[in-house]
Amino acid sequence: MKLIFPIAALALALAAASFRVEKDTIIVRELAVKAPFAMPAIKVPDFSKGISVNIASLGAVAGDKEKNAAAIAKAIEQVSAAGGGTVVIPAGEWRTKKIHLKSNVNLHLEKGATLLFSGDPADYLPAVHSSWEGMECYNYSPLIYAYECKNVAVTGEGEIKSEMDTWQQWFTRPKPHMESLKRLYNLAWNRTPVTERQMVDDSSHLRPQFIQFNRCRNVLLEGIQITNSPFWTIHLYLSKDVVVRKVKVYAKGHNNDGVDPEMSQQVLIEDCVFDQGDDAIAIKSGRNPEGWRLKTPSKNIVIRNLTVKNGHQLVAIGSELSGGIENVFVDNCTVLDGAKLNHLLYIKTNERMGGFVNNIIMQRVRSGKIDQGVLGIDTDVLYQWRTLVPTYERRLTKISNVSLKDISTGEVKFVSRIIGQQELPVQNVRLSGIRTGTVDTTAHMHQYLAGFSEEDVTRK
């Protein structure tokens, strides 16, 4: 009898070990990323050991959005249940509705594949836990949505594209839309539970993001082309360990930022091309009470080797930054000559935001003509909110330690324009090796700035 228990225990242990191997097929690798601050290694999922399911084997038919959406959902379920792997979108155009990813799933578009997303808002219901301009709510599902997923990816050489007829009609902001924004702001301000912030109705028209990774870990977005977007294109929300690599974004509609890391950490964005109707990269951390409630700064973000064809800014910080933003490194980027660009780096906030901005470093950037300047910092950016709602509570944003070096541009209006607050000046801005073309106005326009240094700032 003494031998039976150990043998039985060993058998059970071996069975359990065998089960873990079978059910845990995703390998997670650590990617070391160089940065001028302590940057943790980023965890990147590898799906090569998992199963592969082609949507054509599950009834997908080119042009039939109902069958395609059902086949994709079934493939995602099969792959996730099997412990992980890849859902394959083969060559061809596949019209579809919303896609909800699950943990351990890589949605992979083969070369020549296009996922064409319907422009019918009803195809993105029921409403899901999302956010809009820094405020959490229940809204139309993002076209591709991952919620509380681990080890999740969208990869390949194909294209994802949105039909735009309805979304373009929603670009305008008539009074009913603005009243809905006001209602959402007040719901957030009053700390109303998110489940009660239902924003799908006949007049709110809060457009969904194209891709949203919401509260996810170990995220990979690689290789694909994204064409058109209802709203922000790639929204990294409350997520950690994210790589966005070799993605091409062509989206020139209203609010069409390229990538919006919001309250996200350990993020690498590299080797991408952006042709945008708004900012190429916009780093955020919640609006007013939402950022204060969630208390999750965006930090440890590396942006490198980008090409920008058009965009309001190469990198914007804010204006939603109530949770704080720190440790951002922008390196070796190019803005093509002829691009429509306002700034290389633009930090924007207002007296209601609170939060902080610290340790923002940009280096080795080449650009043609810039409509405004190399660096802009403005602490009084309110847009529609200036008249939409009053200032319920005044919280200033501490902005400190901003450094730009080895920058070359064409003509600019100014090199730097920095407008701080009298009670809380911007602190420690350093410019070195800045070479511009003609400066149309004054090189530096500063108000309420404590600590400014420049070295080798010249005109070509």
pLDDT (tens place) for every residue of the chain, 460 residues total: 333 334 444 343 333 333 333 356 899 999 999 999 999 999 999 999 999 999 999 999 999 999 999 999 999 999 999 999 999 999 999 999 999 999 999 999 999 999 999 999 999 999 999 999 999 999 999 999 999 999 999 999 999 999 999 999 999 999 999 999 999 999 999 999 999 999 999 999 999 999 999 999 999 999 999 999 999 999 999 999 999 999 999 999 999 999 999 999 999 999 999 999 999 999 999 999 999 999 999 999 999 999 999 999 999 999 999 999 999 999 999 999 999 999 999 999 999 999 999 999 999 999 999 999 999 999 999 999 999 999 999 999 999 999 999 999 999 999 999 999 999 999 999 999 999 999 999 999 999 999 999 999 998 7
The answer to whether the beta carbons of residues 30 and 241 sit under 8 Å apart is no
Query: Cα(349)–Cα(402) distance, rounded to whole angstroms?
Result: 15
Domains of the chain, CATH where assigned: 46-341 (2.160.20.10)
Cβ neighbours for 226, distance < 8 A, ≥ 6 positions apart? 159, 160, 161, 210, 211, 233, 234, 247, 248, 249, 250, 251
CA torsion 74→79→80→86, rounded to 10°? -110
By CB neighbour count within 10 A (0-12 exposed, 13-18 middle, 19+ buried), where does 18 fall? exposed
**Other Cβ atoms closer than 10 A to 179:** 13
User: Tokens in use for 311?
Assistant: 């965009």
The model's pTM: 0.94
By CB neighbour count within 10 A (0-12 exposed, 13-18 middle, 19+ buried), where does 339 fall? buried
| SS3 assignment, position 150 | strand
The position carrying tokens 């799933």 is: 105
